[in-house]
Amino acid sequence: MSELVITNIETIRLSYRYSEEERWQCPGWTTLQRNATLVRVWTNKGIHGVGEVSEDSCIPQSVSSIIDEHFRAMLIGENPFDIEKLWRKMFVRSLHWGRKGGAIKIISGLEIALWDIVGKALNRPVYDLLGGVCRDRVRVYASAGMSNEENELIEEMLRHKEEGYTALKMRIGGSPRGDVEKVRKVRDAIGKDIDLMADAGMSYVDATWDFNTALRVARGLEPADLFWLEEPLINDDIDGYARLAAEVDIPIAAGENEYTKYGFKELIARRAVDIVQPDATRSGGIMECKKIAAIADAFQMRMAPHIFTSGVSLMANLHLIVSSPNAIIMEYDRTINPLRDELLVEPLKYENGFITYPKGIPGLGVNLTDELIEKFKFIPGEILSKGPFTCDHAF
């Protein structure tokens, strides 16, 4: 059998436009549409792999041009099994302009597609190639709490509790004083037997909290007994994260907006967070996230990956979680998202706060068909309706 060789790379953009009733909110915006930017890497044997370029789907036109003009020539003619070599080539040759952000997200998508190819070529699921399974089922948390209206928010959280979830996440980041009160009311409604996370999303609005605001909010949230407080500060404020983690009695989680093992090294070594949240579609790919998990594990630090886009993102991070001993829980997006559900070869089976994942499916376990590409044809235009710009974070 001749060597497997990469022959082509496609960039595929998908969209799902929400109806008025399906739209959901975070502090600062309303989501009008879900986008996904996927890459499909082909080989001379007809085997192809699918990867995802995370939430750079907000500017999807740039992804295809960067791949075509910069990364394509690095991969065509190469053996897709040489994942470490190809990752290093892409990373080093974009160092002068892409050490963080969009370039790393594109490298992530291409690397994920290579794992999908290798798994299919060997007829093995990707988790087998990453060291095998650490768990047969995965605890999940309902990633929800999108409503800004108090009664709707509490109803939503109670509904997820009734569905058997043992952990729930809600969004904050609008009004510091209002956020503390909102979390308190949710905790009172759901009771003490449910783990509760609060995601400030770097405050979601246009101006993130400063350290003093984040500290006052965190101290105000301590009675709510949070499982974690997520992204209370902008991702570059490592000093602020380290101070906050040392001063409050709430685990601090962050990392969805950090890139590669080099970026996570400082977060981990300085104990600026208690829980790291890499994303295989953003932080450098599956293997890079395995390395991030290993560094965290050396510091007895837990991992809970960020997962919030298509079925490709879901499965790439699921293989990471299944094969990583310090992964503690999986984000399970509860917003309406056909780009997630319809791309899976087999649906995940949810029961009583856990999912059981498909066993033995070669590669990632995703299936991107021409029918799905046509059904979810890309729709240009705004995907978010932003509120007015504000810098007011007065407590």
Considering the domain boundaries, does residue 392 fall inside one? no
Indicate whether 234 and 162 sit together in one domain: yes
Considering the domain boundaries, does residue 350 fall inside one? yes
| Residue bearing tokens 């997006």 | 333
Indicate whether 229 and 293 sit together in one domain: yes
Is residue 110 classed exposed, middle or buried when 0-12, 13-18 and 19+ CB atoms within 10 A define those classes? buried
Indicate whether 139 and 94 sit together in one domain: no
Tokens standing for residue 233: 């500060």
| pTM of the predicted model as reported, rounded to 2 decimal places | 0.96
The phi-psi region of residue 70 (left if phi > 0; otherwise alpha if psi is between -120 and 50; otherwise beta) is: alpha
Indicate whether 95 and 156 sit together in one domain: no
Nearest to 203 by CA among 223, 227, 238, 179: 179
SS3 content of the chain, % helix, strand, coil (to 5): 40, 20, 40
Structural domain of 107: 6-123+380-384
Distance CA 261, CA 128 (A): 22
Distance CA 305, CA 332 (A): 10
- Beta bridge partner(s), residue 52: 38
Considering the domain boundaries, does residue 279 fall inside one? yes
Indicate whether 107 and 131 sit together in one domain: no
Considering the domain boundaries, does residue 270 fall inside one? yes
Indicate whether 162 and 283 sit together in one domain: yes
Indicate whether 60 and 168 sit together in one domain: no
Considering the domain boundaries, does residue 370 fall inside one? no
Indicate whether 214 and 262 sit together in one domain: yes
pLDDT in tens, the chain (395 residues): 469 999 999 999 999 999 999 998 888 788 999 999 999 999 999 999 999 998 654 566 789 999 999 999 999 999 999 999 999 999 999 999 999 999 999 999 999 999 999 999 999 999 999 999 999 999 999 999 988 789 999 999 999 999 999 999 999 998 899 999 999 999 999 999 999 999 999 877 777 899 999 999 999 999 999 999 999 999 999 999 999 999 999 999 999 999 999 999 999 999 999 999 999 999 999 999 999 999 999 999 999 999 999 999 999 999 999 999 999 999 999 999 999 999 999 999 999 999 999 999 999 999 999 999 999 999 998 888 876 555 556 66
- CATH code of the domain in which 324 resides: 3.20.20.120
| Nearest 10 degrees: Cα torsion 231, 233, 234, 237 | -120
State how many domains the chain has: 2
Give Cα separations from 172 to 218, 264, 273, 378 (angstroms).
12, 24, 19, 30
Tokens standing for residue 265: 């090294």
- Contacts for 370 with CB less than 8 Å, ≥ 6 apart: none
**H helix count then E strand count, the chain:** 14, 16
Considering the domain boundaries, does residue 304 fall inside one? yes
- CATH code of the domain in which 100 resides: 3.30.390.10
